[in-house]
Amino acid sequence: MLVLPVLVVIYRLTVTPPSIEMFWLIVFLFGAVGVGSLFAYWALSALFLSYELNDRALVIRWGLAHQVIPLERITGVAYGFERPAPKRLAGVRWPGNAVGRAVVDGIGQVLLYATYRTPDQLLYVQTPGTAYGIAPGDVQRFHGRPGQPARAA
């Protein structure tokens, strides 16, 4: 996708003297590569988002972030249909995906790692320091049966 513009810039650098237009082309190209890489990272992280509930902990994996929540630290669980939708998200959000900090009435600040279509698909896991919003494919099965890895919805 970006191979052709890179080849054009390399060609222009070798056959023409430096110019302000070339400088701005290079700045734009580096910016496009950076933004494209960031979007690719977010998309791949959302694609491979997973939750694992085993006998010792809940593990949330999103990109390079791994949240390990020991089961003894979990103080409560709330279903998304029991709470209003998250608001004031500070993070990444596009249709069907939310990652970052949000506020949920009745819970407070929540770390969201979720791919969901409606807030009813969320499961809020509360600990003394932090609450986590996740969206396992089957909330009832995920909450009811530890030891089974679950993919995001």
Q: pLDDT at position 125, please?
A: 92
Give the other-Cβ count within 10 Å of 104's Cβ.
22
By DSSP bridging, strand 108-114 and strand 123-126 are: unpaired
- Hunting for tokens 């302000």 — which residue is that? 20
Question: For all residues of the chain together, what is the average pLDDT?
Answer: 82
Per-residue confidence at 127, pLDDT binned at 50, 70, 90? very high
Per-residue confidence at 138, pLDDT binned at 50, 70, 90? low
The residue extents of the domains of the chain are 3-46, 49-151
Per-residue confidence at 147, pLDDT binned at 50, 70, 90? very low
Per-residue confidence at 95, pLDDT binned at 50, 70, 90? confident
Q: What does the pLDDT average to over 44-58?
A: 89
Rounded to whole angstroms, the Cα distance separating 142 from 153 reads 11
Rounded to whole angstroms, the Cα distance separating 128 from 113 reads 18
Token pair belonging to 131: 């609450």
Per-residue confidence at 79, pLDDT binned at 50, 70, 90? confident
Q: pLDDT at position 25, please?
A: 81
Per-residue confidence at 142, pLDDT binned at 50, 70, 90? low
Q: What does the pLDDT average to over 10-27?
A: 81
Token pair belonging to 4: 């052709």
How many residues does this entry show for the chain?
Answer: 153
| pTM of model > 0.85 | no
Least confident residue range of 6-20, 91-105, 138-152: 138-152
- Hunting for tokens 């009435």 — which residue is that? 105
By DSSP bridging, strand 50-53 and strand 87-94 are: unpaired
Question: For residue 4, what are the CA distances in angstroms to 42, 52, 114?
Answer: 24, 42, 35
| Residue 93: its H or E element | strand 87-94
Residue whose C-alpha is closest to residue 126's, from 149, 109, 145? 109
